[in-house]
Structure 1
């Protein structure tokens, strides 16, 4: 099987799965762009634990880790099988790289995982598991996790970092199609340019070097999955999608394949 890229997806708000628009259309076409993987590993911004932890659940439940959305959203589920063999492989690779990795026996799929997967792989016939982030650790730490996981790309595993290219809940607009402010677009363009050029140093130091970094990421967790994807696939990436929701959420997506 040909090597797979790694992917970074911006999952936006939980209601993405019941919305129509540019990003939903993009996600529905994603499975056509790459060979069908044997398994999927999702690094979601919504699972934070220290040390890194991987789920060994055989039938991961759909987790509704949100509130205040339409009832329709809570009726959705993503019944994919888990991937305990992949979980063992993830733990093995991280251990070989000198990192501690724990296993969670029953952890399900949070909305950072199942929301985009429901659109991208709706048949749910590919085993899926999740790996946690460490929100207090820096981009380099997450890059190194990705480097350790790089062999999975050659074993038929699709590595997906699921976060958000921009994520400021304090500036959240209740209108799905709200106008996007300049400070969001400027940061988003900086990110896209540096990924296109493979500027690893600038990306790892985005806090200090990117315009409006603090405004777009008051906290780091939603960008950390990007660095895992880049570590496993290489700093230079191809932009797959660009759009915005709720004014301040860039829905940018990238593929990395060195």
Structure 2
């Protein structure tokens, strides 16, 4: 079936090493692009929100071309050799700013280029030939989940017009634990990480958006999984773009090193079709 409507996505990128490593999450992203292309037709562009590009108010990068930014340190030389040169979409960037502005969310379209690693790593795995133009949209990390949901709702029309809305982050993101000693044997998951995963999956399946919007108070161990929550907040952009009628549909679930959950979700009425294609 071909359709111009696409399910918004929340994708966990975790470490920038996902660009070159072999892991369940990396292999999932390798299958994601072809699954979208075959099920819906190739997206005409992707609007991507990442925690690694943050501003005090949203900005849509309107550059005609983008390159990968190596915004990290201490990784192997192979990672720094990775490139991702993608087309931008100036008109779409201005449309994003306009739609958010019409929803009461002042947004600038700026003549700027560059893809942080939360953007280029997932796009490179899904579309390694940079076949899909990209419009980066900055995250406002001080906004509440409800504010980010509202921003996502303002972008919902894009998802109905062949634009893939992506929130890139990490299902859990406590780097102190990731780099610290493990309390469970290799290959096992910390129980509190699994509990957080289970809660999000259950609330998403039940369409319990009020609970998800209040995750900091209601989710088990929320502050432990996200000492700062910028890697979780893009979830709400994608969920808002999908709307409240349909459930959040899990399209991937895995954990790195027992503590870094790499789950991904699709939203909106077409999420189930994507999950079926990936299955």
TM-score past 0.5 threshold: yes
SS of equivalent to 1:33:
helix
Is 1:253 the equivalent of 2:269?
A: no
Partner of 1:29 in structure 2?
31
| Structure 2 match to 1:211 | 220
- Which string of whole-angstrom CA distances, capped at 9 and with x for unpartnered residues, describes residues 71-95 of structure 1? 0001111111111111011001001
1:174 CA displacement: 7.0
Name which of 218, 230, 249 aligns with 1:238: 249
**Deviation sequence 1:165-197 (CA, Å, 0-9, x none):** 11111111379x664311111111111111111
TM-score (norm 2): 0.89
| Alignment-derived partner of residue 22 in structure 2 | 20
Question: Which residues of structure 2 form unaligned runs of 5+?
Answer: 270-279
| Residue deviations 1:180-222 (CA, integer Å, cap 9, x gap) | 3111111111111111111100000000000000000111111
In the alignment, which residue of structure 1 is the partner of 2:210? 201
Q: What is the distance in 2 between the residues matched to 1:116 and 1:232?
A: 19
* Preserved CA contact (<8 Å) 1:173 1:247: no
User: Where does 1:13-92 land on structure 2 (aligned, <5 Å)?
Assistant: 13-34=15-36, 35=40, 36-92=42-98
SS in 1 for 2:147: helix
Secondary structure (helix, strand or coil) at the match of 1:202 reads helix
Match of 2:143 among 107, 116, 137: 137
- RMSD, aligned CA: 1.6
**Alignment match, 2:197:** 188
Unaligned 5+ residue runs, structure 1?
Answer: none
Aligned length: 258
Structure 2 equivalent of residue 151 of structure 1: 157
Determine if the alignment matches structure 1 residue 9 to structure 2 residue 11.
yes
Q: What is the TM-score with the length of structure 1 in the denominator?
A: 0.96
Distance 2:110 2:119 in 1: 16
Distance 2:202 2:89 in 1: 35
